[in-house]
Structure 1
Amino acid sequence: MNIILILVDSLNKHCLQMFNPQSECRTPFLDRFGEKSHIFENHFIASLPCMPARREIFAGRKEFLWRPWGSLEVFDPRLPSIIGAKGFNTGIVTDHYHYWEEEANGYLQGFRSIEFIRGHEYDAWRVPDAEPLPKWVEKMAEFRARQYVGQYYANVRDFKDEEDYFPAKVFSKAADWLADNASKGPFFLQIESFDVHEPFDTPEPYGSMYNRTGKSKDDFNIWPPYQVYDDLDAFMAQTSEEELAFLRSQYLGKATMADVWFGRFMDKMDELSLWGDTMVIFTTDHGHDLGERGIFGKQHPHYDSHANIPMIVWHPEHQGDGRRVTGLTQTVDLFATVIEAAGADLPEANRHSRSLMPLIRNESADIRDAILYGTFGQGICVCDGDWTLFRAPLEGKPLYVYSTAITRPLIVDNPVDGRVGKLPEPPVDQGYFDPTVPLPMWKIPIEIDPRTRENYLYNRAQDPGQTRNLWDSEPEQRERLLALARKLMDEEGCPPEQYERLGMAGPH
């Protein structure tokens, strides 16, 4: 059997009509795919953002309590290498430029073939000119560094129609890969479209599809800030409901554009008669808040709006026919799922990933009773399906990075001690801090400014929009969820100081 894993970055579950019938966003090809597949209702993030989520997929390891965004560790298994050892031809087609940064070494090297589409976001593809920037780029530069928005403009300034944009290139190249390789034996193909990620630079006809403001990207900022807290606050203080409506329309337009080109890829699968022996997993790494609660992006607290993410799975031997799977699952579970589907063995040290195959075979309703998720240096999130709790870190408590390597990690959540280019603090210790890691790790102090010191408790069953904070009014549920979080931290493993930092009792 063949396996295809498709990631459409930053795709919100609630913009898809199969999950939210009230959404105006049209994704007919994804709807068609969902009609014959398993639709996962309670699929969640685990470690955020982009590369932490991918370490879960490639290595089956949650990292958000141990370290920030960074390279694969020397002890990490490599998913494509495991699959390749079972005789699969492995390939990846992606425009996710973070893979080529220093802080993301090791992810792609296990594939036999790599097709990389250049030019998204800050990708250093084309040399920016000294020419004046057009009005829409100047709008982005109001809250982002000119060199970065100038780089994006240099990359896309010659784009003329949708065929030039990234979803078209990614899914077209993926279809070409199938045409070249589908007849050469079993294969594992990973496809990643960085869109619908920002900037929300959406070509026609999609830019007008949901836009009722009569305005264009010359009028509004299509790349709002969110990594730097003060910049986000400043943007939200001066924005308008009209600008937010325009931004959301461009996001939805990108989602429809990605769907159209996903449909072209499905046409190639039809043409090659691959559905009868190919498993297809469609999902994302996280969603993206679009001004809800005054925030953008995917930062803590991790509300369902960006943490409960879409996943649809086709399996030729266990056809879903649109069946809704309600059990709790997480990004990290893709690792074990692909390995089982390929007939390979899970690494003995696997601690975090659980195969989805019992749910796909309809042998079980659940593989997890509850889940933990979060971003390094922030709080912790726990959900049991009906209730969600967000616990913020206490002030003045220590935080350490644990890694076998001393690198310049790309911290994307506003560290106090600076960003890319600053040397890390010297390690304070080295030892065997994780019993599943057969090598000594450095213990490196770091400071990160939390997004919030406030705690939250929500009843998802009664308040699906998570608008009523019950932290003070539901002490019994609060203590139950805190105890559940401690239990999961014990089972999944974390540095001992995280209990103190999060205001919890020590390990049981």
Structure 2
Amino acid sequence: MNQDRPNVVVIVADTFRRDHLGAYGNGSIRTPHLDAFAQQSVVFDNHVISSFPTMPARADILTGTFSYTHMGWEPLPRHLATLPQVLSRAGYTTMGIVDTPFFVRNGFGYDRGFDDFIWVRGQGDDTRPEERSDMRSTWRSEEDRMVARTMTEAERWLERHHDENFFLYVDTWDPHEPWDAPDYYTAQYRENYTGESINYPCYGKWEDAGLTEDDVNLSHAGYCGEVTMVDFWIGRLLAKLDALGLRENTLVFFTSDHGFYFGEHCYFGKAEWVHEPEASVTEDSSVPEWLTESWLLTVQRSPLYKELTNIPLMVRGPGLEPGRRAAMTTAPDIAPTILELAGLAGLPGTMSGESFQEVLAGTEEEHREFVVSSWPLYLAEGEITTAVDSKPRRIADYMPITVTTPERAVILGGPDDEPELYDLTGDPGQGRNVWGERSGEGEALCERAISFLEDVGTPEAYLAPRRKALEAWGTPKRKSA
């Protein structure tokens, strides 16, 4: 083993809200192992998502690109270099262990570059309920849960390969729904709990779906229980690193892909979604090929507020002084940072993220002025029809982007959608849109974001609707009104 190069472990827990960790100020949800890890780590207070949701976010991490600018929910493009591929060529043993169900299904190829790869099957997804129910029928104890099986696989792999230079990527879909941790976890967050559950969100406005506030609170208790369970099993994996004597020469990253709404902004879920696998596109529609085969086809206009965009990032490693960082970072920056910390000079030409190694070292205080968070950008025209209610629905072709600074957040959609601007210092919950009062400030931030998108190669066709939105809602129109 090359003692001059650190081992690298990346742990991703899906749908893990930053504000549900004790290390980020939550005093009621129990996350003792990740809180202890935070005490040993550099903790980033302004780590914000780029691509949304699940697989676009993984593409960001694995390729160091802003995937929302060039791809959708689709197979990983072959021309993109991947982090495990670069590390493998440099002599690292690279391993991926995941239970998130989309990495290799349907030829997606997110295992590319790993020397070996284990898909811990059983999570299923909303298109394969039979897989999900079949696995759950075998559960007898906590050790049968998916996060437990995934972290145990990672422990076993470490036992076999701890004396090599390795890159280990571990990805669990928990605490994503369904929220079905053992009852003793959920009971910690619901008084007089007797086993009742609502394991799935309505993916829309909870009141419109006929749910009560107590229904949402019950689901949130289930989610919090899963958060605590995930914390326990990640703690097991971290303890295994210590047992194998790996702490002093191993970089460990912990992060997530996005958060979730539990009633905030009236949403319960992460999008306005009509769950209809048999939805069809009308004949006169024009849509990207990948969209017709994706669940994103039936997602309606869904803005990204902070409950979705703010996620944890903690990094522990040799030579890193524990502490907190206010610098803004995002997922495409992770791969370039790891490559620099591993001493591999020169990024692959396809990577557009930027290393935050100097922020980790404490020699720089700032990294990015802002972060753009977005669904995959695409152009589409037409309608879909669903068997749910036979109601035609316009394809949402102008999904809003969110631009975040430490003090502001602006949401910009298409020409028909009034932008939203929030002062995060005085309104951290994003409850009062001040675009009408400060449109000039919002415009300036949007224009900087569009310039950034140009710089990373976003096709002009995707930017044109944003420019038209600024023309329609910007200062000149208001002055002439």
Q: TM-score, normalised by structure 2?
A: 0.82
Residue 422 of structure 1 is matched in structure 2 by none
2:245 matches 1:273: yes
How far did 1:156 drift? 0.7
Residue 19 of structure 1 is matched in structure 2 by 24
Q: Distance in 2 between matches of 1:194 and 1:269?
A: 22
Residue 199 of structure 2 is matched in structure 1 by 222
2:184 matches 1:179: no
Residue 307 of structure 1 is matched in structure 2 by 309
Name the amino acid aligned to 1:221: I
Are 2:206 and 2:266, in contact at CA under 8 Å, matched by a contact in 1? Answer: no
Pick aligned residue for 1:388 from 396, 409, 430? 409
Name the amino acid aligned to 2:102: H
State the secondary structure of the residue aligned to 1:42.
strand
2:236 matches 1:264: yes
Q: 1:298 to 1:338 in 2, by over 3 A?
A: farther
Q: 1:373 to 1:457 in 2, by over 3 A?
A: same
State the secondary structure of the residue aligned to 2:72.
coil
Alignment of 1:11-50 (within 5 A): 11-22=16-27, 24-50=28-54
Q: 1:236 to 1:200 in 2, by over 3 A?
A: farther
Name the amino acid aligned to 1:118: R
How far did 1:64 drift? 1.6
Q: Distance in 2 between matches of 1:190 and 1:216?
A: 34
Residue 476 of structure 2 is matched in structure 1 by none
Residue 460 of structure 1 is matched in structure 2 by 424
How far did 1:233 drift? 4.3
Q: Distance in 2 between matches of 1:191 and 1:382?
A: 29
Residue 328 of structure 2 is matched in structure 1 by 328
Q: 1:107 to 1:155 in 2, by over 3 A?
A: same
Q: 1:250 to 1:194 in 2, by over 3 A?
A: same
Residue 179 of structure 2 is matched in structure 1 by 200
Q: 1:235 to 1:223 in 2, by over 3 A?
A: farther
Pick aligned residue for 1:76 from 77, 80, 103? 80
Residue 109 of structure 1 is matched in structure 2 by 112
Q: Say which is worse superposed, 240-249 or 342-351, in terms of deviation.
A: 342-351
2:133 matches 1:153: yes
Name the amino acid aligned to 2:157: W
Q: 1:161 to 1:236 in 2, by over 3 A?
A: farther
Residue 4 of structure 1 is matched in structure 2 by 9
2:218 matches 1:239: no
Q: Distance in 1 between matches of 2:114 and 2:128?
A: 30
Q: 1:205 to 1:221 in 2, by over 3 A?
A: closer
Name the amino acid aligned to 1:201: D
Are 2:57 and 2:257, in contact at CA under 8 Å, matched by a contact in 1? Answer: yes
Q: Distance in 2 between matches of 1:157 and 1:366?
A: 49
Residue 286 of structure 1 is matched in structure 2 by 258
Q: Distance in 2 between matches of 1:92 and 1:235?
A: 40
Are 1:213 and 1:246, in contact at CA under 8 Å, matched by a contact in 2? Answer: no
How far did 1:117 drift? 1.1
How far did 1:459 drift? 0.9
Residue 362 of structure 2 is matched in structure 1 by 362
Residues 70-111 of structure 1 deviation map (CA, whole Å, 9 limit, x = unaligned)? 111121002111001111111111111111221x62211311
Q: Distance in 2 between matches of 1:97 and 1:178?
A: 22
Unaligned runs of 5+ in 2: 1-5, 272-301, 378-398, 472-481
Identity %, equivalent residues? 28
Q: 1:213 to 1:379 in 2, by over 3 A?
A: farther
Q: Distance in 1 between matches of 2:116 and 2:422?
A: 45
Pick aligned residue for 2:447 from 476, 483, 486? 483
Corresponding pairs, count: 414
Residue 376 of structure 1 is matched in structure 2 by 376
Q: Distance in 1 between matches of 2:409 and 2:207?
A: 29
Q: TM-score, normalised by structure 1?
A: 0.78
Unaligned runs of 5+ in 1: 123-143, 227-231, 396-452
Are 1:8 and 1:196, in contact at CA under 8 Å, matched by a contact in 2? Answer: yes
Give the ranges of 4+ consecutive aligned residues of structure 1 lying more than 4 Å apart after TM superposition.
Answer: 233-236
2:225 matches 1:253: yes
How far did 1:234 drift? 7.1
Are 1:279 and 1:315, in contact at CA under 8 Å, matched by a contact in 2? Answer: yes
Q: Distance in 1 between matches of 2:26 and 2:67?
A: 35
Residues 20-78 of structure 1 deviation map (CA, whole Å, 9 limit, x = unaligned)? 234x1101111111111100000010011111111111111112233311111121002
RMSD between aligned residues: 1.9
State the secondary structure of the residue aligned to 2:94.
strand
How far did 1:291 drift? 2.4
How far did 1:366 drift? 1.2
Name the amino acid aligned to 1:82: V
How far did 1:235 drift? 6.7
Are 2:206 and 2:212, in contact at CA under 8 Å, matched by a contact in 1? Answer: no
Are 1:6 and 1:190, in contact at CA under 8 Å, matched by a contact in 2? Answer: yes
Name the amino acid aligned to 1:382: V
State the secondary structure of the residue aligned to 1:238.
coil
Q: Distance in 1 between matches of 2:167 and 2:193?
A: 44
Residues 274-307 of structure 1 deviation map (CA, whole Å, 9 limit, x = unaligned)? 1110010011111122222121333442111110
Name the amino acid aligned to 2:135: N
Name the amino acid aligned to 2:331: T
